[in-house]
Amino acid sequence: MRAVIQRVSQSSCTVDNEVTGSIGLGFLVLLGVEDSDSDEDLQWLSQKIVNLRVFGDENGLMNKALADIGGDILLISQFTLLAQTKKGNRPSFIRAARPEKAIPLYEKMIVAFEQLTGKEIATGIFGADMKISLVNDGPVTIVMDTKDKENH
């Protein structure tokens, strides 16, 4: 699994002119599911994201996690995070999981985040043409990949 985590002051997802999910302060999480991903990857990644200490404390240092600031999560499925651009100019998405594998893992990620935060998770719609709006706070953007755990 690959995730792009953006600290936001607000973010929303719109599909067909309808808002499907909206948050204030928290994380916009773009999630790409790879064919080889497992529940173990999901548990590791969800824990890392929820416990990321990237919110400012009284001294302006990044010492606070999502729970410390009462933040929310907007989770968006995004297979294009797994693009391979080695050959030519047209990306290949061969490593991205097919919907029959990706949808259950995406749905399990929603549940994992809800259990870890005790809050409802805002979402997009898997496979839809989504319009994502965000105000990146900082900016703070972190990329995590379960295939590269030693660097995270």
Taking the C-alpha atoms of residue 30 and residue 32, their distance in angstroms, rounded to an integer, is 7
Q: Are strands 72-77 and 122-123 parallel, antiparallel or unpaired?
A: parallel
Choice among 80, 85, 123, 146 that is catalytic: 80
How many Cβ atoms are within 10 Å of 148's Cβ, its own excluded?
10
Taking the C-alpha atoms of residue 149 and residue 152, their distance in angstroms, rounded to an integer, is 5
**Active site annotation includes 146:** no
Catalytic residue set: 80
